Structure 1
């Protein structure tokens, strides 16, 4: 017999304890009491984005900033652009680029692109 035929009969069957451990782990991850869920539902408020995300961003962004913090900065700029608040966007981007040492090259390029687009939109308006 060659290795392929021996491989067919060399199957390991999991025992019941492995299945029980997986089920217990899933229960810990998804388990929540009805009272806890009701409390979350009562306190839930939808996040309303109306062009003011930039007010919640703390500048400067330091070199130890998380990816989420940098993404929030980008979302704030995108939101200002979407709501056509080009003058605020240009100033916010200028402040972020001049004061933040925690931005990578790609983020700096993206912010510069948004800054250029906003300046072009302002020129077209005025």
Structure 2
């Protein structure tokens, strides 16, 4: 069998490889001055149990997935920090004011958190 004319004898031109490298370089290219400007303005986002304070309620009827995820994250955070009464109050406010914006799965999940928070409040630690 002749290796020069084989089926797997494939050559890649340098132009295609350079195009891919150029595209990646343009996408990731950042000057040192740009990096330092970003570094000076960067502040780490610290979430310490107050995500629910930044959520405007009621949610609009056409609330997107990001808004709904933010509500769920706020409830989970309150539950994690064992702030059960605040979680109950927040869940009730969400369910009464924004029930049209929520899908059934989200309503069910909020209901689970509501019952768990109420159970935890009744159970001594």
Structure 1 unaligned regions, length at least 5 = 1-7
Q: 1:105 to 1:17 in 2, by over 3 A?
A: farther
Q: 1:31 to 1:86 in 2, by over 3 A?
A: same
CA deviations over 1:9-55 (Å, ceiling 9, x no partner): 27764433322221122112211111111112112212111111000
Separation in 1 of the partners of 2:26 and 2:63? 31
Provide the aligned C-alpha RMSD in A.
2.1
Equivalent residue in structure 2 for 1:74, among 69, 72, 75: 72
Q: 1:82 to 1:25 in 2, by over 3 A?
A: same
Correspondence for 1:119: 118
Q: Between Structure 1 and Structure 2, which shows a larger proportion of helix residues?
A: 1
Correspondence for 1:4: none
Report the TM-score when normalising by structure 1: 0.81
5 Å-filtered alignment, 1:1-126, equals 9=7, 13-100=11-98, 101-125=100-124
Structure 2 unaligned regions, length at least 5 = 1-5
Separation in 2 of the partners of 1:104 and 1:12? 53
